[in-house]
């Protein structure tokens, strides 16, 4: 999920709004969309043939595939998607020190 | 009529359709699946929406792969009852229910039966401690209006929980400006244990304290052990942690012990070992909380979609929020908000803190039945 964060505003904006939620809209400007972003796995139009496996993998598994039509409807990220294990290492918690009131307040406020 | 494909994001589609008054049609719902069509929990959600609205039309084709939904008016009402089934937890149903009921004719008061805590949706503890306070703020509601009581807990797979929810009516939403994260000043939590030894709750608290006390002394986790009729039908335990910041933001994380029956038969032994002891659940919850805090933003990943929805429904002035890396659910929410309300957010990532500022001009959605006042 952290891959969704892009440093350039234009990238992120076009990533979000490059794909329409609507089915018919997606069909209409499918060609233009395909030219803009190759990486999108949402290909219900252009390609005549496609791998069945890829569809089925995304349909019922817990892993959220953003462009799968049948992705699981859950607002929370599954625990497996969060990078939880990195906080188990020794000293990892110190990275967050300045986000807590026990840390450096000027560092913490610099974010706002 | 707006057309969509697939089962993704069905709850938000129904919310948006109802609040915007637009009919929708969803085709190709799991049409390539071995078991095609709507799932039982989705049918259950549609029944729930039928209960709280008046005049809606729901048509489903024979295989359940196509759904046509023509929204009616949200009526609300009291003394309602709904069985949420055993496929998804009550948290799955609460989100659309609360969002719709706020725009109802009468305040809603409803009893929900089913699973109160599972690993997929936000548990009732997250709802009580984070989601409801957040909605109170986003919709400008008094504290006693929006409330939820947990009478019985129910763990998967058996369920058997009971929750009572009351939602007041909102007239119009206030403008939203939430951009300051603040620093974490305290951590609160609830450790629940049903149909297992009471010690499990205390052991989870110990596990999480070991991790959290490294950064913060102000950690208070309450234990909620239930037995008998209040404990539902299945054994289970889990921990919800909530970090409170100096600006009043709430960041939550939860870890739930997986249900015993869902273990695959051929890897039973292995999985049983991976599940670990209550201390591990406590540590996992604490680590998940660290991860949520490090992602940044004014809410955790589970609430991004909700915050964005309220921004888009908000008044026709600038609504702005600051979020961490967007979840797939949040991105889908943004796309749907554009499709339904024509609201496009301006997205400005801030590199230094790797957070994203999102702002929009709201659609100014008003309560249909309160238009005169």
A74 domain residue, yes or no:
no
Single out the residue of B171, B315, B183 nearest to residue A106, CA to CA: B183
Residue B359 lies in a domain: no
ipTM of model = 0.82
Residues from chain B that touch A21, judged by Cβ atoms under 8 A, are 4, 9, 332, 335-336, 338-339
- Domain assignment present for residue A63? The answer is no
Domain termination residue (choose one: B116, B150, B174):
B174
Dihedral sign computed on CA atoms, order B256, B261, B267, B273: positive
- Helix locations, chain B, DSSP H: 10-20, 40-52, 90-101, 124-126, 132-139, 199-212, 268-275, 278-295, 304-313, 328-341
> Domain residues for B218?
184-295
Chain B (200-229) residues lying within 8 Å, Cβ to Cβ, of chain A: 211, 214-217
Query: Are B188 and B155 in the same domain?
Result: no
Q: Using one digit for the tens of pLDDT, what is the confidence trace for B215-255? A: 999 999 999 999 999 999 999 999 999 999 999 999 999 99
Contact in structure between B141 and B135 (CB atoms under 8 Å): yes
Q: How many CB pairs under 8 A join A and B?
A: 198
CB atoms within 10 A of CB B364: 14
Based on the fold, state whether residues B9 and B94 are members of the same structural domain.
yes
B329–A74 C-beta distance less than 8 A: yes
Q: Are B135 and B68 part of one and the same domain?
A: yes
Residue B21 lies in a domain: yes
Residue at B206 is within a domain: yes
Domain co-membership, B138 together with B260: no
Phi, psi of A35 (to 5 degrees): -70, -35
- Does A61 fall in a domain? no
pLDDT, tens digit (0-9, with 9 covering 90-100), for B109-124: 999 999 999 989 999 9
B108 and B160 in a common domain: yes
**Whole-prediction pTM value?**
0.88
Helix (H) or strand (E) holding A24: helix A23-28
For residue A84, list chain B residues with Cβ-Cβ distance below 8 A.
284, 287-288, 291
Average pLDDT over residues B333-351: 93
Q: Tell whether A112 is covered by a domain.
A: yes
* Mean pLDDT in residue range B317-322: 95
Residues B106 and B210 in one domain: no
Q: Do B122 and A75 touch (CB under 8 A)?
A: yes
Instruction: List phi, psi (to 5°) of B31.
Output: -75, -20
Instruction: Provide the number of structural domains found in chain A.
Output: 2
Contacts of residue A45, defined as CB under 8 A and 6 or more positions apart, other chains included, come to A26, A27, A30
The reply to whether residue A8 touches residue B349, judged by beta carbons under 8 angstroms, is yes
Query: Is residue A58 assigned to a domain?
Result: no
Are the Cβ atoms of B356 and A5 closer than 8 angstroms?
A: yes
The verdict on residue B346 lying in a domain is: no
Edge-to-edge strands, sheet with B57-60: B2-5, B24-27, B67-70, B57-60
B39 to chain A nearest CA, in Å? 11
Distance from CA of A45 to the nearest CA of B (A): 12
Q: What percent of chain B has pLDDT over 90?
A: 86
Same domain, B33 and B149: yes
Residue B348 domain flag: no
If asked whether residues B169 and B262 sit together in one domain, one would say: no
In a domain, B285, yes or no: yes
Query: Which residues, including other chains, have CB under 8 Å from residue B7's CB and lie 6 or more apart?
Result: A69, A70, A71, A73, B26, B29, B30, B38, B39, B42
Token pair in block for residue B271:
């999985």
Q: In this structure, what CATH number is given to the domain that contains residue B26?
A: 3.65.10.20
User: Residue B271's pLDDT band (boundaries 50, 70, 90)?
Assistant: very low
Question: Which residue among B92, B184, B255 places its CB closest to the CB of A99?
Answer: B184
A102·B182 Cβ contact <8 A: no
Is residue B309 a part of any domain in this protein? no
Helix (H) or strand (E) holding A56: helix A52-60
Question: Mapping DSSP to helix (H, G, I), strand (E, B) and coil, where does residue B202 land?
Answer: helix
In this prediction, residue A85 has a pLDDT band, given cuts at 50, 70 and 90, of: confident
In a domain, A69, yes or no: no
Is residue B193 located within the same domain as residue B272?
yes
The answer to whether residues B76 and B221 belong to one domain is no
B295, B323, B341 - which closes a domain: B295
> Over chain B, what is the mean pLDDT?
91
Q: Residue B211 sits in a domain of what CATH number? A: 3.30.360.20
End-to-end CA distance of chain A: 23
Classify residue B145 as exposed, middle or buried by CB count within 10 Å of its CB (0-12, 13-18, 19+).
middle
Choosing from B245, B269, B295, the residue where a domain stops is: B295
Q: What is the DSSP letter of A100?
A: B
How wide is the angle at C-alpha B5 spanned by C-alphas B1 and B10, nearest 5°? 85
Q: Nearest CA to CA, how far is B275 from chain A (Å)? A: 13
Do B155 and B201 belong together in one domain?
no
Number of domains into which chain B is organized: 2
Query: B248 CB near a chain A CB, below 8 Å?
Result: no
Q: Which domain holds residue A11?
A: 2-50
- The two tokens of residue A92 are 């990892």
With an 8 Å Cβ cutoff, are B293 and A83 in contact? no
- Model confidence pLDDT, tens digit, residues B59-112: 999 999 999 999 999 999 999 999 999 999 999 999 999 999 999 999 999 999
Report pLDDT for B116: 96
Asked if B131 and B22 sit in the same domain, the reply is yes
- Structure confidence at residue A68 as a pLDDT band (50, 70, 90): confident
Is the Cβ of B344 closer than 8 Å to some Cβ of chain A?
yes
Classify residue B158: in a domain, yes or no.
yes
Paired with B244 in beta bridges are: B186, B250
């Amino acid at each position: 999920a952290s891959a969704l964060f892009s440093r350039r505003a234009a990238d992120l904006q076009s990533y979000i709004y490059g794909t329409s939620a609507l089915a018919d809209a997606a069909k209409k400007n499918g060609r233009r969309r395909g030219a803009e972003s190759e990486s999108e796995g949402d290909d219900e139009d252009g390609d005549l043939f496609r791998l069945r496996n890829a569809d089925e993998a995304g349909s019922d598994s817990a892993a959220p595939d953003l462009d799968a039509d049948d992705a699981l409807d859950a607002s929370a990220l599954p625990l497996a998607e969060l990078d939880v294990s990195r906080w188990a290492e020794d000293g990892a918690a110190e990275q967050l020190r300045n986000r807590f009131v026990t840390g450096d307040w000027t560092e913490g406020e610099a974010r706002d | 009529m707006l057309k969509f494909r697939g089962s993704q994001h069905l709850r938000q589609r129904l919310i948006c359709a109802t609040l915007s008054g637009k009919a929708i049609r969803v085709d190709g719902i799991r049409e390539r699946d071995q078991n095609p069509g709507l799932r039982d929990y989705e049918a259950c959600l549609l029944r729930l929406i039928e209960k709280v609205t008046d005049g809606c039309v729901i048509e489903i084709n024979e295989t359940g792969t196509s759904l046509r939904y023509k929204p009616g008016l949200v009526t609300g009402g009291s003394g309602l009852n709904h069985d949420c089934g055993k496929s998804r937890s009550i948290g799955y149903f609460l989100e659309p229910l609360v969002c719709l009921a706020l725009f109802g004719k009468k305040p809603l008061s409803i009893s929900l039966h089913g699973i109160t805590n599972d690993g997929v949706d936000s548990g009732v503890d997250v709802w009580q401690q984070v989601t409801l306070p957040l909605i109170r703020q986003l919709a400008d509601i008094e504290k006693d209006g929006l409330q939820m009581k947990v009478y019985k807990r129910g763990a998967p797979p058996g369920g058997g929980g009971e929750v009572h929810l009351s939602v007041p009516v909102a007239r119009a939403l206030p403008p939203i400006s939430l951009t300051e994260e603040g620093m974490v000043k305290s951590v609160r939590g609830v450790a629940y244990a049903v149909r297992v030894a009471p010690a499990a709750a205390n052991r989870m608290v110990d596990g999480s304290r070991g991790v959290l006390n490294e950064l913060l002394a102000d950690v208070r986790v309450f234990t909620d052990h239930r037995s008998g009729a209040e404990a539902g039908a299945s054994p289970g335990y889990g921990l919800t942690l909530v970090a409170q910041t100096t600006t009043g933001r709430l960041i939550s994380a939860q870890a739930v012990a997986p249900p015993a029956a869902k273990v695959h038969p051929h890897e039973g032994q292995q999985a049983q070992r991976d599940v670990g002891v209550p201390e591990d659940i406590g540590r996992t919850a604490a680590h998940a909380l660290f991860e949520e805090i490090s992602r940044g933003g004014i809410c955790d990943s589970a609430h991004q979609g909700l915050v964005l929805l309220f921004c888009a429904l908000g008044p026709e002035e600038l609504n702005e929020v600051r979020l961490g890396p967007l979840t797939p659910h949040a991105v889908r929410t943004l796309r749907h908000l554009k499709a339904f309300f024509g609201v496009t957010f301006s997205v400005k990532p801030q590199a230094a803190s790797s957070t994203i500022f999102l702002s929009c001009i709201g659609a100014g959605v008003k309560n249909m039945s309160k238009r005169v006042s």
